[in-house]
Structure 1
Amino acid sequence: MPDRSDLIWLFFRISGRLSRAAYFLGGLLVAIIQAFPLYRFTLVPEGTTESNMWSFIFFIAFIASLWSNVALAVKRLHDLDKPGVAALVLFVPVVSIVAFLVLCLFPGQPGPNRYGKRTNSPAEP
């Protein structure tokens, strides 16, 4: 079981490298966390206190998920030995779908690279 610092690194830090599987599964978890409050929002009558609460929770989850998606993509790009700034293409409609597929399908660089000695770990100082 990963400890808390591993999860903080995975979803909120941009140093290090990330494998295809970890990128996909991390992104899936972020999507589920984002979808749950949206689902709950659709089940309650519009304009109620409960509706307002679920929309606020969705807003918070959406903001947190934006950063998490960027952090995951930056580490995945690092595994491909590419600069993390390229993660900005995830915000371009249509191009983001192609970028996501590339990040999920292309294998990372074997062995150490300038972003870390190994995959699925933070960069060592």
Structure 2
Amino acid sequence: MQAPTRRPTVNWLLFSPSGRAGRQVFILGWLFWLAINSYTVASLALHQEDEELFRFFSLLFFAGLAASSASTIMLSIKRLHDMGLPGLLVFVLFIPAVSLVMLFVLCLWPSQSGANSYGPAPDWPQT
């Protein structure tokens, strides 16, 4: 009898460093946070005169920025695991001259085929 498989959740995808994430999931995660942050920035620009709404969207912007920063770090760690690399390489994203190149590498580098030491297959949490 096979052990029941764990289903990936949104919480695992966005806020957990375990497991592996393929290119498509990684890119979609980044695009999700880009859309959320773009909405709050656009709302800030549209409501500059209304002080109450401006405060609300400022708070929403900083909350979204904190959540998206933590989430993109976790997504990047899972993507590095999928490539067979250690998650500590995520700190390269904080080096200004190299971060854009690292982002392109994470988006374009193929997944390591088969299971590796970080999990059985891309996009599933490690059991």
Q: Do these two structures clear the TM 0.5 threshold for a shared fold by scoring above it?
A: yes
Q: How many residues align?
A: 121
Q: What secondary structure, in the 3-state scheme, does the structure 2 residue paired with 1:94 have?
A: helix
Q: Match of 1:49?
A: 52
Contact 2:119-2:126 within 8 A present in 1 as well: yes
Contact 2:8-2:124 within 8 A present in 1 as well: no
Which stretches of structure 1, 4 residues or more, deviate above 6 A after TM superposition? none
Q: 2:20 aligns with which of 10, 14, 17?
A: 17
Say whether 1:30 aligns with 2:33: yes
Structure of larger gyration radius: 2
Q: Aligned-residue CA RMSD in angstroms? A: 1.5
Contact 2:14-2:75 within 8 A present in 1 as well: yes
Please give the alpha-carbon distance, in whole angstroms, between the structure 2 residues aligned to 1:77 and 1:123: 14
Please give the alpha-carbon distance, in whole angstroms, between the structure 1 residues aligned to 2:126 and 2:48: 48
2:28 counterpart letter in structure 1:
L
Contact 2:23-2:79 within 8 A present in 1 as well: yes
Instruction: After TM superposition, give the deviation of residue 47 of structure 1 in Å.
Output: 6.7
Q: What secondary structure, in the 3-state scheme, does the structure 1 residue paired with 2:117 have?
A: coil
Say whether 1:8 aligns with 2:19: no
Please give the alpha-carbon distance, in whole angstroms, between the structure 2 residues aligned to 1:13 and 1:121: 11
Percent identity at matched positions?
A: 38
Instruction: After TM superposition, give the deviation of residue 92 of structure 1 in Å.
Output: 1.6
Instruction: After TM superposition, give the deviation of residue 111 of structure 1 in Å.
Output: 0.2
Please give the alpha-carbon distance, in whole angstroms, between the structure 2 residues aligned to 1:90 and 1:47: 36
